[in-house]
C-alpha cells in the first residue's frame, strides 16, 4: 500500500499568498483528518471527514482556512490569505472506519513556511 500521500512536501510562500495542500488517503479508507503540528501547540486536529462529509471543523483556526474532500481519494486544505503564523507542518491522515480503535495513518506532512 502506498500510504497517505501529501503534496507538496515543502512550501515557502509570501504572506498574503494562497496555499493549497493536497492529500490522497489510503485506498479504502473512509475517514480523513487534517492535523497541524507546531512546537508550541503540538498536534492539533483541524478538521475531519467521514465518507467525504466534514464532521467536525471546530479546529480550523479561522475563515482563512478551508478544506474540501470532493471524492474518496482526494482532499485539499487551503489557506487564503496566508500569514507567517500559519507556518507549521500540516499532516493528512486516514483510517478505515469512523469508529474508535482504528489506527489513523499519517502522511509525511507538508512543511509550510510563510515569510
Partner 1 sequence: QQQVKQSPQSLIVQKGGISIINCAYENTAFDYFPWYQQFPGKGPALLIAIRPDVSEKKEGRFTISFNKSAKQFSLHIMDSQPGDSATYFCAAGGSQGNLIFGKGTKLSVKP
Distance of alpha carbon 69 from the chain centroid: 11
Give whichever of 30 and 81 is closer to partner 1, judged by the CB atom: 30
Contact present, 5 and 74 (Cβ < 8 Å): no
Give whichever of 82 and 94 is closer to partner 1, judged by the CB atom: 94
> How many angstroms separate the CA atoms of 41 and 47, rounded?
16
Pick from 2, 37, 26: nearest CA to 103: 26
Give whichever of 35 and 65 is closer to partner 1, judged by the CB atom: 35
Stretch that binds partner 1, among 19-27, 28-36, 65-73, 80-88 (CB under 8 A): 28-36
Pick from 8, 42, 24, 2: nearest CA to 93: 24
- Residues 75-114 close enough to bind partner 1 by CB under 8 A: 91, 93, 95, 97-109
Residues that bind partner 1 in the complex, under the rule CB under 8 A: 4, 31, 33, 35, 41-43, 45, 48, 50, 55-56, 91, 93, 95, 97-109
Amino acid at each position: 500500500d502506498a500510504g497517505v500521500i501529501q503534496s507538496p512536501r515543502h512550501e515557502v510562500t509570501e504572506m498574503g499568498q494562497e496555499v493549497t495542500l493536497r492529500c490522497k488517503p489510503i485506498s479504502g479508507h473512509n475517514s480523513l483528518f487534517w492535523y497541524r503540528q507546531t512546537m508550541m501547540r503540538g498536534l492539533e486536529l483541524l478538521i475531519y471527514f467521514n465518507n467525504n462529509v466534514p464532521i467536525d471543523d471546530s479546529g480550523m483556526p479561522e475563515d482563512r482556512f478551508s478544506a474540501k474532500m470532493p471524492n474518496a481519494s482526494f482532499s485539499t486544505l487551503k489557506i487564503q490569505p496566508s500569514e507567517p503564523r500559519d507556518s507549521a507542518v500540516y499532516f493528512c491522515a486516514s483510517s478505515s472506519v469512523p469508529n474508535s480503535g482504528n489506527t489513523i495513518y499519517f502522511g509525511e506532512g507538508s512543511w509550510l513556511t510563510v515569510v
